[in-house]
Structure 1
Amino acid sequence: MNLDQLDNELKSLLKQVGAYTKYEFERFSHSKIEYKGLNDPFTYVDVTTEQKLVARCKELIPGSGFINEEGDNVESTNGAVWIIDPIDGTTNFIHGIPHYAISLALEIEGELTLGYVYEPAHDQLFSARKGHGAFLNDRPIHVTDHSDLSKAVIATGFPYEDLPWRGAYVSAVSDIQAAAHGIRRMGSAALDLAFVAAGRYEGFFEYNLNPWDVAAGILLVHEAGGKVTDFQEKDRALYGKQLVASNGQVHGQILDILRKHRVPEHDIQGNP
C-alpha cells in the first residue's frame, strides 16, 4: 500500500473511531472512571478506542510496532511503528468538556511520516505527511508569522504529579504569561500542537510529555512551517519528555524564559 492509499485509509479509520468516542462522550457516566495513578484517569472508552485503532493498523501494515498509551508496546519487525493516544484530554472527556482528541502517528525507520490529530466533537481532522504539508479537513494550514512574544498566544499544560521541578514550572509559566499576549491551558497537548500548526497559537511548551501525546502534533507543526525542540533547542522532543513548539518566530523568546527556570534533565527523565 502506498502512502496516498494509507493516508485515505487512516482518515477513514479516524472518522469511524471518532464517531464511537463522540457517542460515548455524550453518554459518559462518572461511575465508569478508573485510575492508573493519582490524577491519572482512564476509561473503557480509552481502552476500546485504542483497541480499534491497533486492530486496523495491524491490518494496514502487518508486522509494525506500537507505542500506545493504554496497551503494551510492540516491537516492529519492518521498521514501521505506530504511536497512539486514543484520547488525549481524558480529564476533559470525563468532565464533559468537548476538547479532546485522538492522536495517531506513523514512524518509519525512525522518521515521523504520517500524523493525525482528530477532534471528534467539532469534526476537526488535522493531518500531515512528511514533505507534503499540514492540513485541517484537507485544507492547508500554516503557522503564523507573528514575531513579537507580547502579541502571541502561548499554550501550556500543568503537571499532575508532585515532581521536584513543579516550582520551576510555575515560575516559567508566570514569566511567559507576563511576556506574552495571553496564555492558555486547554488540557490536550495533541490539540495544542495542532493549534500551533493551524495558526491559532504562536507557541506551546510543556514538561513531562510522552511520545503518544506529541508524535502527530510534532509532524503537524513541522509541516505547517513551525519549529519543535526540547528546552535545550535540540531535536529530541519526541522522546525527551519536554517540548517547545512555535511558529519559529517566537521560539527563541520562549526558550530564553524557560532557560531561566531550566529543569535538570535527570529530573525530567525521572532518573536518579
Structure 2
Amino acid sequence: MQTVDILREASNRIFENVKNLAGTEHAAGDFGIGAGGDISRNIDIVAEKTVLDYLKEINFECIVLGEECGRVELSDNPKGFIIMDAIDGSANAVRGIPFFCSSLAFATENKLSSITDGVITNLANGEMYWASKNKGSFFNDQQIRVRSNDPIYKIVGVNISGASDNLVKRVLPIFEKHEHLRHFGANALEMAFFARGLLDIFIDLREKIRIQDIAAGYLIVREAGGLLLDSDLNPLDADLSYDTRISFIAASNQKILDEIMSLIDQ
C-alpha cells in the first residue's frame, strides 16, 4: 500500500467516526491543552485516536506529530513522520458549522520540504483532497490546478483571527480594495479550496500557524501549481518542531501576488 493510500484510509475512518458527532453536545468537552497549545475537545480526541489505532493496526513504522497527542513514536526504526491535525477547525466542528477537516501528511525528514504525501478531507461531506510529490493534486479522483485565468469574481482569503493591531493596519488596504474576502475557520481546508481554484490567493501573516495546520496543504498547493511563500516572499519551508509558527502566502500566479503585496506594503 502506498503511503498516500494509508493517509486516505485514515482520513476516511476519521470521517466515519466523527460525521455524526459534530455539532452535538458530545463534540466538546475540555481535555486540557493539547501539544499544539489549544484546548483539546472530544471530537479532536476521537479523530486522533482513530488515526493512531489504524497506524498501529497496520504496523506503520513512523513518528506521529499530532496536534493534541504530541509526539508518538510507533517504531524504533521509523520511515518518517505523520504530521496530523485530525480536526482542523475545531470551533466549527463543535458548533456544527460545516467547514472543518482532517489534515494528514507524511514527511521523510524534519522539514516541510520533505513532505511526500498529503491528504485533506472535508469532514462535513467526506470530499477528499490529496497529493503525492511530483504526481499532482487531486480532488476525489479529479486532478486539480490553481486558477490560471482571470475569474469572474476575485476571491481573496485573509486570516486575521487574533491578529495584532499592526497587522490589521497592514492588510486593511486589501479590505478597502477588494469586495470578496473570505476566511472560513479552517486553514487546511481553505488551502485545499485554493488548490482547487476556488480562491485566488490566501494569506496568513499572523506568525501563528502550526506545522500540523499547513503540512498537507503545503504539498497539495505546490502540486496544484500554486506559489507558496513565507512572509519575506521566499519559498516556504520550516522544521517540524512544535515551537515553529509560520506565516504564508498561497498565490495562484505572480500577477495577483504582486497586486496584493503592493497593497500590504504601501
Same fold by TM (over 0.5)? yes
Distance 1:180 1:11 in 2: 36
TM-score by length of 2: 0.84
Distance 2:27 2:129 in 1: 29
Distance 1:186 1:64 in 2: 32
The aligned residue for residue 254 of structure 1 is 260
For the structure 1 residues 180 and 32, does the alpha-carbon distance in structure 2 shift closer, same or farther, using more than 3 Å as the test?
Answer: same
The aligned residue for residue 183 of structure 2 is 185
Identity of aligned residues (%): 25
The aligned residue for residue 158 of structure 2 is 156
Which consecutive residues of structure 1, in runs of 5 or more, have no partner in the other structure? Answer: 261-272
CA drift at 1:58: 4.7
Distance 1:73 1:200 in 2: 34
Which consecutive residues of structure 2, in runs of 5 or more, have no partner in the other structure? Answer: 240-244
CA drift at 1:7: 2.5
Q: For 1:82-93, list aligned pairs within 5 A.
A: 82-93=82-93
The aligned residue for residue 9 of structure 1 is 6
- Is 1:123 aligned to 2:120, yes or no? no
For the structure 1 residues 178 and 216, does the alpha-carbon distance in structure 2 shift closer, same or farther, using more than 3 Å as the test?
Answer: same
CA drift at 1:172: 3.1
Q: For 1:12-161, list aligned pairs within 5 A.
A: 12-29=9-26, 32-33=29-30, 36=33, 40-58=38-56, 60=58, 62-74=60-72, 77-109=77-109, 110=111, 111-146=114-149, 152-160=154-162
The aligned residue for residue 267 of structure 1 is none
Q: When the two structures are aligned, how many residues end up with a matched partner?
A: 251
Q: Secondary structure at the match of 2:212?
A: helix
Provide the aligned C-alpha RMSD in A: 2.6
Distance 2:108 2:236 in 1: 16
For the structure 1 residues 147 and 254, does the alpha-carbon distance in structure 2 shift closer, same or farther, using more than 3 Å as the test?
Answer: farther
CA drift at 1:112: 1.0
Distance 1:31 1:220 in 2: 30
Distance 1:46 1:254 in 2: 35
